[in-house]
Copies of this chain bind each other. A is one copy, B any other.
Amino acid sequence: MSPAKKKNSDAYLRMYRQMARIRAFEDNANQLYLSAKMPGLTHMYSGQEAVAVGICEALQTTDHITSTHRGHGHCVAKGAEFKPMFCELLGKEEGYCRGKGGSMHIADQTNGNLGANAIVGGSAGIATGAALSARQLGTDAVTVCFFGDGALGQGVLYEVMNMAALWKLPIIYACENNLYGEYTKVEEMAAGALCARAQAFGIDAFEVDGQDVLAVNKLTQDLVAKCRAGQGPFFVQLNTYRYHGHHVGDINRTYYRSKEEEADWRDNRDPITNFGAWLTQEKLVSPDELDAIRDEIAKDAKAAVDYALAAPYPAISEVDMHVYAHSA
């Protein structure tokens, strides 16, 4: 292989692996919930992997992301490890947030993930502030703000997009349009075209197939470079689909979407299957190698789950720790 091809192929395999890791993580999380081993509930990212991975692979560790209630995928894609993630989901001390945040607040500041957020649209301000901070501090960090189509209902998003546009901040608003907000279709919640809502502020907006990791990655690389050159902000609408219910408990969902629709996305538009097929077709990897990757990931995930299940809870004395940070 030529060095360039090799380099690309490394990146491709990393993206494949990262998507597979997200899927494996979610399958295990779902299992934990179904077997009543996980407290609370959680929102599965399965089906949307190409969005998080395509975007985060275009970022540096020092770049920031903000995430959502459906945040495991973003967390893995930005570089997190399975063990502290599962520990967090189970409320264990070794979790990324010492068990205090859980699925809806998982954050990983070492990799620039400023955290999931249980308020829809709640991270729009935080993300835009991180972009402002980069400008204030003179770093070249770019921020990606992930949010769902439903978050377009939150007014604060328009406030911060306006400021980002006025001040040319290095931020990408990544709108994951998975067609539903909870149990309601996007058309019933959003008048007009989604991209128009950013264009109204003079922000360049792009629509991309969120099931195509390479398309997502390519567009993001371009936009990140432009952001670093002071040409931000940008808005990207990523068309995608969540395979599971809104949350793990949303089992009977035919009243808001059909089984046919679900099957169509799973069978024909799966980002991992399709990317895997392309990789083998292009002879960048053999089907066996891909199987091996997935097997290895499955083992990793299983080991992390077992570890997390056995890991200790935080000491009860932690309950009133971390309410306030120490000041100098």
> In whole angstroms, how far apart are the Cα atoms of A197 and B19 in the complex?
37
- A309: Cβ under 8 A from any B Cβ: no
Known: A199-B200, A201-B192. A159 touches B153 (CB 8 A): yes
A53 on interface, CB distance cutoff 8 Å = no
Which chain B residue has the least Cβ–Cβ distance from A197? B200
A306 to B159, CA, bound (A): 45
A121 to chain B, nearest CB (A): 9
Closest partner residue, chain B, to A195 (CB atom): B200
**Which residues of B lie under 8 Å from residue A188 when comparing CB positions?**
166
A202 to B197, CA, bound (A): 10
- Bound-state CA distance A155–B200 (Å) is 13
**Which B residues lie within 8 Å of A197 (CB)?**
158, 200-201
Complex Cα distance A188/B197, Å?
A: 19
Answer yes or no: A316 CB below 8 A from chain B CBs: no
- Beta-carbon contacts under 8 Å, A196-242 to B: 196-197, 199-203
A238 to B276, CA, bound (A): 56
Q: Decide: A162 near B153, CB < 8 A? Known: A192-B202, A200-B199.
A: yes
Whether A157 is near chain B, meaning CB under 8 Å from some CB there, is yes
Q: Could you give 29 example pairs across A and B, Cβ below 8 Å?
A: A152-B162, A154-B155, A154-B159, A155-B155, A155-B156, A155-B157, A155-B158, A158-B158, A162-B190, A162-B191, A162-B192, A165-B191, A165-B192, A166-B188, A166-B190, A166-B191, A191-B201, A191-B202, A191-B203, A192-B202, A192-B203, A193-B200, A193-B202, A196-B196, A196-B199, A196-B200, A196-B201, A197-B200, A197-B201
